[in-house]
Chain A
Amino acid sequence: MVRFLIRRVLLGAFVMFVVTIVVFLIFFVGPGRADVAQTLAGREATPKTVALISHRLLLDRPLTTQYWHFLDGLLHGNLGYSYYHGQAVTTVLKEAYPITLSLALGAAVLWLVIGVLSGVLSAVRSRSIWDRIVTVLALFFYSMPSFVLGLLLLYVFYYQFALHGIHLFPGAGYTYLTANPLKWFEGLVLPWITLALVSAAAYTRLTRGSMLDVLNEDYVRTARSKGLSENRVIYRHALRSALTPVISQFGIDLGVLAGGAVITETVFGMPGLGYTAVNAIRDQDLPVIIGIVIVASASVVVANIVVDVFYAVLDPRVRLH
């Protein structure tokens, strides 16, 4: 198990290494070396200023030197400073992270409950009217782009409600949990629902398929013929193994989300990692973009490791590979 863990962590480190190379190539080599210095110096900078900045950023050195410098800063937790606010990128990340996390965790709990329950209902009552309703709803929300759902929810539950004097949910923004827990909750309800409904649909389909597979297994028939109650067979025996693919998908999705729910945050104007990244891209604020891309990749890598380890604990065969 320890060897498996070490191998998995090493692989994760390798992925992160590749990510830093890709990020470096995209941002430091892609647009041409002069562009970075020019952007930094501003439009009215003299060629001399540009050359100076270029020199200070090591842009006139060979690529490998530049890359090691970049990696060195990264490993020391130094991600540079935002061009616009003069803030350290780490500070920007620290401010945005709790917002993204509040959004991601709340939505994740919602969609897991909705997705798994509806999937089980659909599989157990296969071919019934419930199965049909669930399948149709799942297909509908599975096809729904999150920004469409978010904006339609805003139109109905923010704007139409406000027209009728009901001010239940804010239209945009984020209140810190520590500042006002009630406002924090109110502000998150619509984003949670948006993210949860769109994601739950995939889980409904996954759970249904996996549950139908498992219900055909011999050990389920054995459990039934032992005289166990149907509920016990379904929830204790079948669901348990049907959940394995669901859990692994869940880990990966949560990892991606922890790197910023780009669309949902943009729709609801929540300054989490995703929205900050979109704004940074609009402003060409390179250090901030790089910081967010790296944090986001790291959270996916960590989520992958956690999922694999979890899998290995559940199913010893995995460790052999």
Chain B
Amino acid sequence: MSMSPSDSVAIEDALVASGVPPPEGAAASVIEGRSPWRLAYERLRRDRASLIALAVVVVIILVAIFAPVIASLTGHGVYQQFRDTGLTPDGLPVGPNHQFLLGTDDQGRDILVRIAYGARISLIVGVVATAAEVVLGTVLGLAAGYFGKVVDTVIARIIDIVLSIPFLLFAISLVSISHPSLTIVIVVIAIFGWAAVARVVRGQVLSLREKEYIEAARALGAGPWRIMFIDILPNIVAPIIVYATLLIPVTIVIEASLSYLGVGVPPPTADWGTMISGAQQIYQQAWWYLLFPSLALLITTVAFNIFGDGLRDALDPRAEQLYK
């Protein structure tokens, strides 16, 4: 992320204006010319919990990318049913053993392989839906905050309405009338999710709009689009990044919930929510079927949340002050 010098100055001005004491060695930093991003990076590097969380996230991404490799290492396909070795004579799943490291599911499929493939769905939905929400929310939030008046009233009303709609009920209704698919799940999550982002962005823009440097830009003859995207946006990128990072685990849980309710990505696609839903029927005979997909989901959301919190502390100086 590169920033023009004027933007860095603007942020530092904002820091000074908000009464935040300059971080240790601030005088030296001006001489070295360390950017706010550099400072944030150095703060983040000292935060051990966030680094571990980041490592976990990276591992999950690698598992998702190399799911076919895991499948070929175990020799078990993701849809392959092992009716002889993967099921007991009574047709029940078999527990973890040397052939199936995490056991099998109710159809004799390898849970380890399916968890690895399930990570793909979770991450794709988590990242793509979040990105859509953030882009939509940022553009509408910028427009509402900057233009004000009628534009703001209309967008703010729409935000209110979207936020006061019982999300999960509408989402399952919407998915159920169209044939469930990965795309539908992403679209539905984005339709309901942008409003929260827009509200945050709008709030930030409202306070920035009155700053002198915006007035200066306007006096120089900059148009609204230039002011919104070149002058204002770079100054609210930090909170947006933090918000997006914290939105990813929320989105992953929503996707898993939709699949758990049977309106997410349809079977036989490997999906954590679907697996947990299947496990609910026979968890009394097969604890591993319930436990391992649940752990995968939980580890993913915890890792993203810890990393997101760390990112916030690193990027948001006000939060740092609170934590001192």
Q: Which residues of A contact B (CB under 8 A)?
A: 11, 15, 18-19, 22, 26-27, 30-31, 127, 139-140, 142-145, 147-148, 151-152, 154-155, 159, 209, 212-213, 256, 259-260, 262-263, 266-267, 274, 277-278, 281-282, 284, 289, 292-293, 296-297, 300-301, 304
Contact = CB atoms under 8 A, between A and B. Distances in A.
A290 to B, nearest CB: 9
A31 B169 contact: no
A287 B39 CA distance: 57
Interface in B146-168: 160-161, 164-168
A209 B318 CA distance: 12
A130 B257 CA distance: 32
Nearest to B260: A147
A144 B301 contact: yes
A31 B177 contact: yes
Given A155-B290, A260-B169, A281-B173, A142 B305 contact: yes
B168 A262 contact: yes
A26 B174 contact: yes
B294 A151 contact: yes
B66 interface: no
B161 A26 contact: no
A215 to B, nearest CB: 10
B206 interface: no
B170 A148 contact: no
28 contacts: A15-B160, A15-B161, A15-B164, A26-B174, A30-B177, A30-B178, A31-B177, A139-B309, A143-B302, A145-B256, A151-B276, A151-B279, A152-B294, A209-B322, A212-B322, A256-B166, A260-B169, A263-B168, A281-B176, A284-B176, A289-B176, A292-B169, A293-B170, A293-B173, A296-B166, A297-B164, A297-B165, A300-B166
Contacts of B166: 256, 259-260, 293, 296-297, 300
Given A145-B253, A281-B176, A293-B173, A300 B164 contact: yes
Interface stretch (B193-201, B208-216, B221-229, B280-288): B280-288
Instruction: Tell me what chain A mostly uses at the interface: helix, strand, loop, or mixed.
Output: helix
A145 B297 CA distance: 8
A50 B201 CA distance: 50
Interface residues of B, number: 41
Contacts of A30: 177-178
Contacts of A143: 249, 298, 301-302, 304-305
Contact of B169 (A266, A277, A284): A277
B161 A18 contact: yes
B178 A266 contact: no
Given A145-B297, A152-B294, A262 B306 contact: no
Contacts of B177: 26-27, 30-31
Contact of A155 (B172, B283, B322): B283
B9 interface: no
Nearest to B302: A143
A151 B301 contact: no
Nearest to A148: B294
Contacts of B178: 30
Contacts of B249: 143
B164 A304 contact: yes
A221 B298 CA distance: 42
B324 to A, nearest CB: 9
